[in-house]
Structure 1
Amino acid sequence: MPFAELEFPIHETFQSTVQGEGFWVGSLVDFIRLAGCPVGCPWCDTGYSDGGKHTPREMRSLSELLKEIESPRVVISGGEPFIHRHLPDLVRAILDLGKQVSIETSGAFWQDVAPETWITLSPKQHVNANFPVQVAFWERANEIKLVISTGKELDYYQDYLNIASDRPIFLQPEWHERDRTIPIIANMLRQKHSYRLSLQTHKYIGVA
């Protein structure tokens, strides 16, 4: 198949929106949400808590995806982007347009992507032990984002977070329980002064 005709299962794309989480919060970005994720996080906001049985998807070509890019940075999310074997090709094609690329991942599936790619590791091993974080991601990730639900997540990952201590580490309240979890995170920040609170700003301001 010609390179430009490579196809990807797409949940949705949107352009010229605002990154709401983590290091690049407030930046103008496009989003490409790749369909599919086996991890099954109960709070998943893109419909994969049950494996995505009822989540819409559409096969779209690489050339179609590239034509609609508008922003300086493109965020590839999911689902789980790293389950798609042509992810490195998609990343390289976007970089070749002179754009920056970020990928959000659970870290359960490893592929080599271009070294200039920004990797946001949001581990879900504590949610589903069948999908442990590939160890290489703790070294490769540019930032760590932990979704906080119970307050025990830091203890679960502490040894790995020590490996990534030179990277920014964000604690993000689980959205549906934010009134309960934000105070938990506030207490964590008193103990871990280098960690940061990450709110899902896009949900507060009502953008995609």
Structure 2
Amino acid sequence: MIEVNQAIQLPIHETFQGTVQGEGFWTGTLVDFIRLAGCPVGCAWCDTGYSDGGKHLPRDLRSLQEVVQELQSPRTVISGGEPFMHRSLSDLVQAIFATGRLVNIETSGAFWQDMPLATWITLSPKQHINPSFPVQPEFWQRADEIKLIISTGEEVEFYQPYLNTLSHRPVFLQPEWSVRDRAIPLIVKLLQQYPNYRLSLQTHKYIGVA
């Protein structure tokens, strides 16, 4: 029996189990998702509804034990919203690791917390969208992968000074879903300029899973 602090409660947007990771390095792997509620960055195209901060979105306080007990897959993805804005994130990560599962966290990088090195961190920066929430410098070296959402193609140039400092970290270029027909050809051209980068498609949307 895994013991967790029953006093810890998490603001949950939604959870779902036994699905497929559709983006980035771990595309195609079986995962569970824990989406923590809330994000102040305000991306207009946010696919979980936080373009206005999510004032009217689901926000259920659930115990850490309850959330961990429903896990099924060998890998858990913690996303949001913005996971790193929650002080209880570290407790959640440690509790998942205690079950023998692997942990991924997806973040804009606007809020920093130190995490165990075994935690896979996907940095998807949004500083070009909202300069009020810049990427915290620690993330550029800590992230295991970088995922840039591409709508105009200018995003790569914006982050290039940071990307140039990285070594052996995969960089994924992912079309913004609502303009994907325009963005995919832009990404193909960018890959000719940056052949070490990779295309990431939101596979889960194409195959119709959560």
TM-score by length of 2: 0.97
Per-residue Cα deviation, 1:2-55 (whole angstroms, up to 9, x for no partner): 813300000000000000000000000000000000000011011100110221
Residues 154 and 165 (structure 1 numbering): CA distance in 2 closer, same or farther, change over 3 Å? farther
Structure 1 counterpart of 2:208: 206
Which of the residues 46, 51, 54 maps onto 2:53?
51
Residue equivalent to 1:153 = 155
Cα distance in 1 for partners of 2:22, 2:197 equals: 17
The residue number in structure 2 matching 1:122 is: 124
Identical-pair percentage: 70
Per-residue deviation at 1:164? Answer: 1.8
List gaps (5 residues or longer) in structure 1: none
Determine the structure 2 residue equivalent to 1:23. Answer: 25
- Quote the residue 2:195 is aligned against: 193
Matches within 5 A, 1:154-173: 154-173=156-175
Q: 1:97 aligns with which of 96, 99, 110?
A: 99
Q: What TM-score do you get using the length of structure 1 for normalisation?
A: 0.98
Cα deviation digits, residues 105-139 of structure 1 (max 9, x gap): 00000001111000000000000000000000000
Instruction: Give, as a single letter, the amino acid of the residue that structure 2 aligns with 1:34.
Output: L
What amino acid is the match of 1:87?
L
- The correspondence of residues 53-68 of structure 1 with structure 2, limited to 5 A, is 53-68=55-70
Q: Equivalents in 1 of 2:167, 2:177: separation in Å?
A: 25
Structure 2: 5+ residue runs without aligned partners?
Answer: none
> One-letter code of the match for 1:197?
L
User: Cα distance, 1:160 vs. partner?
Assistant: 0.4
Displacement of 1:166: 1.5
**Which among 178, 181, 194 is matched to residue 179 of structure 1?**
181
SS at match of 2:50: coil
Aligned structure 1 segments of 4 or more residues deviating by more than 3 angstroms: none
Tell me the alpha carbon deviations over residues 133-163 of structure 1, each in whole angstroms, 9 at most, x when there is no partner.
0000000000000000111001100010011
Kindly indicate whether the alpha-carbon contact (under 8 Å) linking 1:169 and 1:195 is maintained by their aligned counterparts in 2: yes
Which of these residues, 133, 140, 149, is aligned with residue 131 of structure 1?
133
